[in-house]
Amino acid sequence: MPARRLDGTAWAERLRRELEPRVAAITRHAGRPPGLAVVLAGTHPPSEIYVRNKIATATAHGCHAVLHRLPDTATVDEALALVRQLNADDSVDGILVQSPLPAAMGADAESRVFDAVDPARDVDGFHPVNVGRLVQKRPALVACTPLGCATLLDREDIPLRGRHAVVIGRSDIVGKPMAMLLLHRDATVTICHSRTVDLPAICRTADVLVAAIGRPGFVTPDFIKPGATVIDVGINRDEAGKLCGDVDFAPVREALGPEGWISPVPGGVGPMTITMLLSNTVDAAERTEQRT
């Protein structure tokens, strides 16, 4: 018998419904809906799709979401000026700068522009202040993808206390914050990466395995302990151009067996990520309201 599916689509829909009364309350009390500003610099087809989905989801759930475009030729200073203008705009609760910024802006453009976002409006959770607050387990805006994974585990009541959680990937936006969220749920956490020796042997000791690598079908049955939970963060295209994760889904699902859980791609982490953006925007708007 194959493992059970962690249905990100269904949980995301439910979570969005749960946010609706909070959006309505903010709109009533503040006299305006929660505001989300999305900055898109240059032309990058995948970013166009991501941004369109983010705006559509926020709008469909009662937020006022506005896209701010900058041309391919924009400079870092122009991006910084836009972010500062949004920071000073009382109708904007959340600011998201879509990555990647145009290469012409320079290697340090992303860190400079992300760092310029007001931490209270940083709905991507990338600002060093929010990263630090997460590490210290203080209230913070947390990066949407790891927050979506943790929420999926919480909602499905997957036990984490005292369990061994292995995260493959150490990026600032997925792997590291994911490890923190698992640690804060009392898991014993191992972070693996491209230099890890004997990765499959470490993964076979995992009760919870999070794959955030960016390589199609990288996680095979050889990595699996029967009964474990596998979260697939990867978004890749296979040789036929079909969307797929980092996990070789069908054989891994079989190897996990009926006691195991696995998140599919698509329909797992993706819808949770976009819902966490909505959730962070609502959190940010509620905090703004409490301050005023």
- The footprint of ligand NAD (CB under 6 A) covers 145, 168-171, 173-175, 192-194, 196, 199, 212-214, 233-236, 269-270, 273
Q: How many Å apart are CA 83 and CA 75, to the nearest integer?
A: 13
CB of 147 to ligand NAD, least distance (A): 11
Active site residue 136: no
Q: Output the six-digit token pair for 234.
A: 């990867």
At CA 206, angle to CA 203 and CA 208, rounded to 5?
115
Of 83, 183, 136, the closest CA to residue 175 belongs to: 183
Angle at 127 between CA 243 and CA 284, to 5 degrees: 85
Distance CA 182, CA 134 (A): 12
Cβ nearer to ligand NAD, comparing 102 with 169: 169
Residue of 7, 93, 98, 232 with catalytic role: 98
Q: Which of 80/243 has CB closer to ligand NAD?
A: 243
246 is catalytic: no
Per DSSP, what are the bridge partners of residue 189?
165
35 or 169: CB nearest ligand NAD? 169
**Rg of the chain in Å (alpha carbons):** 19
Q: Cis bond leading into 2, ω under 30°?
A: no
**Rounded least distance, CB 178 to ligand NAD, Å:** 9
Shortest reach from residue 210's CB to ligand NAD, in Å: 10
Q: Which is nearer to ligand NAD, 220 or 236 (CB)?
A: 236
Query: Pick the catalytic residue: 7, 93, 122, 124?
Result: 124
**Is 54 tagged catalytic?**
yes
- Beta pairing partners, 5: 262
Backbone angles phi, psi at 257, to 5 degrees: 75, 180
Minimum CB–partner distance for residue 72 and ligand NAD (Å): 23
For the annotated catalytic residues, the residue numbers are 54, 98, 124
